[in-house]
Amino acid sequence: MAAGRAAELGASVLLLEKMEKPLRKLRISGKGRGNITNAKPVEEFLQKIHPDGSFLRPAFSLFFNTHLIQLLSKTGVRTVEERGDRVFPASQKAWDVAEALLSWARRMEVDILCLAQVTGITRNSEGLFSVAFDHRKAKRMAQGRKLLLATGGLAYPATGSTGDGYGFAKKLGHSVTPLRPSLTPIEVAGFAKLRFNDLPLRNVRLTATADGEKIGEEFGELMFTGFGVSGAIALRMSRNIVDALEARREVALLLDWKPALSKLQLQNRLERELQGNDIPNVGSLLRKLTPAPLVPFLAEQAGLQVRAKICENVKEKIVNTLKCCTLRASGYRPFSEAIITAGGISLNEVDESTMQSKLVKGLYFAGELLDVDADTGGYNLQVAFSTGWLAGSKMATDS
* Interval 299-331: pLDDT, tens: 999 999 999 999 999 999 999 999 999 999 999
- Rounded to the nearest 5°, which phi and psi values hold at 147? -135, 130
30: left (phi over 0), alpha (psi -120 to 50) or beta: left
Matching fold, domains 2-180+339-397 and 185-333: no
Q: Span 150-163, mean pLDDT? A: 95
Residue 224 has pLDDT above 90, yes or no: yes
Supply the pLDDT for residue 194. 85
Supply the pLDDT for residue 146. 98
How many helices (H) and strands (E) the chain has is answered by: 13, 20
Positive/negative CA dihedral, 324, 330, 335, 341: positive
Supply the pLDDT for residue 276. 75
* pLDDT per residue as tens digits for the range 50-107: 999 999 999 999 999 999 999 999 999 999 999 999 999 999 999 999 999 999 999 9
Q: What is the CATH number of domain 2-180+339-397?
A: 3.50.50.60
DSSP of 221-290: EEEE-SSEEESHHHHHHHHHHHHHHHTT--EEEEEES-TTS-HHHHHHHHHHHHHHS---SHHHHHHHHS
* Reported confidence tier of residue 278, pLDDT bands at 50, 70, 90: confident
Supply the pLDDT for residue 192. 83
* Reported confidence tier of residue 12, pLDDT bands at 50, 70, 90: very high
Q: Span 359-379, mean pLDDT? A: 97
Supply the pLDDT for residue 277. 77
Alpha helices in the chain (DSSP H): 2-8, 24-28, 42-46, 57-62, 65-74, 94-107, 164-171, 232-246, 263-276, 282-289, 295-301, 312-323, 379-397
Residue 197 has pLDDT above 90, yes or no: no
* pLDDT per residue as tens digits for the range 335-350: 999 999 999 999 999 9
CATH classification for the domain delimited by 185-333, as one of 3.40.470.10, 1.10.8.50, 3.40.50.720, 1.20.5.510? 1.10.8.50
Q: In terms of DSSP bridges, do strands 340-342 and 180-182 run parallel, antiparallel, or are they unpaired?
A: antiparallel
- Rounded to the nearest 5°, which phi and psi values hold at 87? -110, 130
> Residue 31: which H helix or E strand, with range?
none
Question: Domain ranges in the chain?
Answer: 2-180+339-397, 185-333
Residue 180 has pLDDT above 80, yes or no: yes
Question: Which of 19-23, 274-278, 305-309 has the weakest average pLDDT?
Answer: 274-278
* Reported confidence tier of residue 193, pLDDT bands at 50, 70, 90: confident
CA 223 – CA 40 distance, rounded (Å): 26
**Whole-model pTM?**
0.93
Residue 118 has pLDDT above 80, yes or no: yes
Mean pLDDT of the residues in the chain? 96
Percent of the chain with pLDDT over 90: 96
Supply the pLDDT for residue 71. 98
Q: Span 261-270, mean pLDDT? A: 96
> How many CB atoms within 10 Å of residue 188?
22
CA 304 – CA 114 distance, rounded (Å): 60
Q: Span 220-242, mean pLDDT? A: 96
Q: Span 245-262, mean pLDDT? A: 98
